[in-house]
Amino acid sequence: MPLDTSTYNLALLRVDGRRWNELRRVHAQIRTQAAADGSSYLEMGHTKVMCVVTGPSEPGPRRGGVAGGGSGGAGAGGAGGKAEVVVGIVIAGFSSVDRKRHGRGDKRTLELASTVANALAASLHTHLFPHSQINVSLHVLSQDGSLLAALINAATLACVDAGIPMTDYVAACTAGSTSTYAANDEGADPLLDLNHQEEQELPGLTVATLGESDRVAVLVCESRVQVSRLEGMLAVGVDGCKQMREILDRVVRDKGRRMIQEGTVEKGVGLDDMDVD
Amino acid sequence: MASSQHVLLSPAELAYLHASLSLTPPIRPDGRSPTQFRPLVAETGILPGTNGSARICFADGTEAIVGVKAEVERTAQRPGEETVFLEEGGGGDGDGDDDDDEEGETGAQGDRRKGEASWVEMTVEIPGLRDDDSGTAFLSAMLSEALLADGEFVKRLWINRRFHWKLYLDIILISPPLSYPLPLLSLTTHLALLSTRLPRLKSEGDEDPFFDDDWAAAPYLFPRSSSSSATAATNTTATKQPATATRPPITLLVMAFGNNIIFDPSKEELAVADVALAVSVTSSNSSSNSSGDGENDEAASAGGRSLRLLSIRTIDPPSRLTPPGVPNAANAAYGAAAALGTQKMLEARTAETEAVEGVWRAPRGGAKRMVLGALVQKTLERGGVVDEVLDALEGVDLG
């Protein structure tokens, strides 16, 4: 079903009623699961992702093809004196509109996993945990575009929950452009946070930045787009990542504040700047 | 797989655990009574994109999500049955008109509605395990076996002679498999099926199926006993349901220690079990009770439910794989046996095979028939654990 992009120029509203620079509703939770070292749940619009982090722990016996479904590893395990980040992604059969079985060896899933693993390995202080493994298992419950961005954000939150030292949040977001590549429209506006419909039709990229800085940690673009439009898309994407970082940070702080209030954890030295009522 | 997962307990600890569970009354490590379940958190309707979904968190931190998706599929016609269909086709239109007299209808409809096991497809995803892992395959086989055992469930997927619903059940274990996940997955599947709704059928007879757009009007696959009478009058699909409101099956783990029967084992308890059974049970509220509408819900749910056994599977408890403990007298590390001659070594070997107080010895041989019978009887007991679990699950608000 082709996306009707013609109406955008009339009201400057997208198919779901957003402006060009608006994120979808983001809802996130951390510590959703008692048994895991770290866990999180993230919704970006209708994209829903769950993440469970186990580790850093002793690497288990190597099974054939590494643990989990689409999985990717990054950082040398053991020998390099750094923890290995192993990411497994399970895409539920019921996640898309039409039920589709995603096999374990699905190349797309593997690529997503290795992208997430590389992004995490670069920002986690893996050198503090030599000869160990950090297992990140991601479950996709519902898909509506910006899947990679949601996976990265969920993994970041779960790593924060697991208490693994990291340089900063890795916040991700997608950006696109209002007209297709074929239209070759010079005046096309950049768009923030694509949904599934837009992702199908319009050029888009996924960008992840490190914290509040402009340092790009992940940049994935799988569609054809004119070079002249790329800069605008990237700028909007990086801006979106900053918004996303604020959201993630608020989630973590809220949870931390609640835990202190409930007495789950003691108010520590570093927490003085947090205003606990 | 997970059932044979090793727990990090020493032989002495295993022996202590086994001894305390064999006492009368048994003492469980977490202080529960033998029939007490661990608390769980359950919610349904978490995924609007599915026909039915549920999430359950067990107290030990394991968590599962089940999503149900349904698609309309054309029923494969067999040439031999074609003539029969044509004959009954004339009567089929009449059925749609006189839905009011259900008593006469259900018998005839019940015969006509057929189902096949291939209409249900179940997949189980366990993180860290391959798709074709034997444990995963066994779990999925046990769960689908319970669902398909009596052939009643697939009849609910019948639309008309030419079409049926194909039901996809995707079961995902979110947490790492800390304990044997069968009861968790089964209860989550039960809840997901309870919350499953299929669009209301608007077409009649053997036409190409045509459904109502209104999701609010979509009937539940398993109509609730209290509301089923109300919905039965309004929609045609509900009339296809038999008079008894059955529930999806649940599969529970039951263990035996000597003469003690213990439900809902934790990982450590399962590790020392003599016998572990996976018992699948379904419930049907008998029609005689549900016809009395004046009765309050409690009476109907407690007295009206009749439990039916669907399947039994023995689970290999990990205790069969645990290495036996060695008495000090026979342990070379203590220097006792090292200096002994061959005569004493033989004695030591016999000592190893005999039961020694405080030394773990893995149970040998199969389960005794009496024990199996007692396990099943205890499970099907009225007002027992299954009733309790079903009541609790019925109390979950269907979102």
Q: Tens digits of per-residue pLDDT, B155-212?
A: 889 888 889 999 999 999 998 877 888 999 999 999 999 999 999 998 888 888 889 9
pLDDT for the residue B347? 58
Q: Do A90 and B172 touch (CB under 8 A)?
A: yes
Average pLDDT, chain A: 85
Q: What is the pLDDT of residues A184-241, one digit of tens each?
A: 777 788 999 999 988 988 999 999 999 888 899 999 999 999 899 999 999 999 999 9
Residues in chain A within 8 Å Cβ distance of B46: 141
CB pair distance less than 8 Å for B128 and A68? yes
Q: Which of A33, A135, A139 sits opposite B172 (nearest CB)?
A: A139
CB B273 within 8 A of CB B264: no
Task: Judge whether residue A66 has pLDDT over 70.
Answer: no
Closest Cα in chain B, distance from residue A196 (Å) = 14
Residues paired with residue B311 on neighbouring β-strands, in sequence order: B280
Shortest Cα distance, chain A CAs vs residue B130, angstroms: 7
CA distance A70 to chain B (A): 10
Among B46, B49, B60, the residue with its CB nearest the CB of A97 is B49
- Residue A175: pLDDT band (50, 70, 90) is very high
Least confident stretch, A106-120, B81-95, B124-138, B281-295: B81-95
Q: What pLDDT was estimated at residue B112?
A: 64
Q: Using the beta-carbon criterion (under 8 Å), do B175 and A65 form an inter-chain contact? A: no
A→B contacts (Cβ < 8 Å), by residue, are 33-36, 46, 48, 50, 52, 54, 63-65, 67-69, 88, 90, 92-95, 97-99, 101, 103-104, 135, 137, 139, 141-142
State residue B28's pLDDT score. 92
> What pLDDT score does B61 carry?
82
Report the amino acid identity of residue A153: N
Disruptive mutation site among B172, B179, B184 for chain A (greatest number of A CBs within 10 Å): B172
Strands B275-285 and B250-257: antiparallel
Q: How far is B383 from chain A (nearest CA, A)?
A: 31
Percentage of chain A surpassing pLDDT 70?
86
Contact B67 A137 (CB under 8 A): no
Work out the pLDDT band at A150, boundaries 50, 70, 90.
Answer: very high
Q: How far is B325 from chain A (nearest CA, A)?
A: 25
Give the closest of A35, A67, A141 to B61, CB-based. Answer: A35
- In angstroms, the Cα distances linking A192 to A17, A63, A149, B399 are 13, 41, 12, 32
Q: Do A90 and B63 touch (CB under 8 A)?
A: no
Of the pLDDT bands very low, low, confident and very high (cuts 50, 70, 90), residue B306 is confident
Q: What is the pLDDT of residue B257?
A: 87
What are the phi and psi torsion angles at B64 (to 5°)?
Answer: -135, 150
Give the residue extent of every domain in chain B: 11-79+100-325+360-394
Q: Considering only CB atoms, which chain B residues are within 8 Å of A101?
A: 123
Spatial separation of the C-alpha atoms in residues B391 and B278, rounded to whole Å: 20
DSSP state of B158: B
Confidence of residue B360 (pLDDT cuts 50, 70, 90): confident
pLDDT for B354: 64
- State the pairing for strand pair A84-91/A133-142: parallel
Q: What is the DSSP pairing of strand A84-91 with strand B52-58?
A: unpaired
Q: Look at B18-22, B231-235, B309-313 and tell me which has the smallest mean pLDDT.
A: B231-235
Question: What integer is the mean pLDDT of B374-383?
Answer: 87
Residue length of chain B: 399
Residue B319's pLDDT is what? Answer: 75
Kindly state the average pLDDT of the residues B339-361.
62
Weakest-pLDDT range from A117-121, B264-268, B354-358? B354-358
* Interface contact flag, B67 A93, Cβ < 8 Å: yes
Per DSSP, the residues of B16-31 read HHHHHHHSSS---TT-
- Categorize the per-residue pLDDT at B301 as very low, low, confident or very high, splitting at 50, 70 and 90: very low
Quickly name the fold that domain B11-79+100-325+360-394 has.
Ribosomal Protein S5; domain 2 (3.30.230)
Answer yes or no: is pLDDT of B122 > 50.
Answer: yes
In degrees and rounded to multiples of 5, residue B271 shows phi and psi of: -70, -15
Cα distance from B126 to chain A (closest Cα, Å)?
Answer: 8
- Tokens for A23, please give them: 């994120």
